[in-house]
A and B are shown apart, each in its own frame.
Chain A
Amino acid sequence: DAGVIQSPRHEVTEMGQEVTLRCKPISGHNSLFWYRQTMMRGLELLIYFNNNVPIDDSGMPEDRFSAKMPNASFSTLKIQPSEPRDSAVYFCASTRLGLYNEQFFGPGTRLTVL
């Protein structure tokens, strides 16, 4: 199994630019999560989807952030416009809902906004 795939792995952009992060969950998984990790705030859940439907987006910091899951094998997290305080590592994770709900994490995207 290829695991959760994220792209790009690194992104450097300038303030005000649009950033799109991409995620392909593990095949057969039906729940997908977007997290952000920073030194100051630790690991925070931004949003998660069950069966492609957004369930909880209470962690999305503000309207500049949006996430979509058009099908079971693809999700995007978009930041528009980006700000320096958005600099962080963004992880995508997926799971197959059931007894364990064990989440498997992708390699992450390290975002730097200058």
Chain B
Amino acid sequence: ELKVEQNPLFLSMQEGKNYTIYCNYSTTSDRLYWYRQDPGKSLESLFVLLSNGAVKQEGRLMASLDTKARLSTLHITAAVHDLSATYFCAVQSGGSRLTFGEGTQLTVNP
């Protein structure tokens, strides 16, 4: 059974600081996704990573994938309050099924 683990689960950081969220998964997969969820809202797709070494960037967020290590990272650069949300990674396995991590609740303080 595929397991997807994120850490940290809770992250409180100051504006302007950098930090990284980690996503480990237990079985081989060639597709990894990052989603954002604001409180009481739906999930918004951020990145789709398809291959080893893939790197994608959007604004202050950068995601990378190392399929050999079964690890993806979501790096936050110079955090701002608007980035406060819960971030999920999800791994595709068995057809188009996604298995989600527990989520990382990010709070950016002024």
List chain A positions with a Cβ less than 8 A from chain B: 31, 33, 42-43, 45, 48, 50, 55-56, 91, 93, 95, 97, 99-108
List chain B positions with a Cβ less than 8 A from chain A: 31, 33, 35, 41-45, 48, 50, 88, 92, 94-100, 102-103
With contacts A42-B103, A43-B88, A108-B42 known, is A102 near B96, CB below 8 A?
Answer: no
Asked whether, in the complex, the Cβ of B96 is within 8 Å of the Cβ of A97, the reply is: yes
Distance of A26 from chain B, by nearest CB (Å):
12
Majority SS at the chain A contact face: strand
Cα distance A103–B99 in the bound complex, in angstroms = 12
With contacts A102-B33, A107-B42 known, is A48 near B102, CB below 8 A?
Answer: no
CB-defined A-B contacts under 8 Å, sample of 5: A33-B98, A42-B100, A105-B43, A105-B44, A108-B42
Asked whether, in the complex, the Cβ of A103 is within 8 Å of the Cβ of B45, the reply is: yes
Cα distance A43–B48 in the bound complex, in angstroms = 18
With contacts A42-B103, A107-B42, A108-B42 known, is A101 near B88, CB below 8 A?
Answer: no
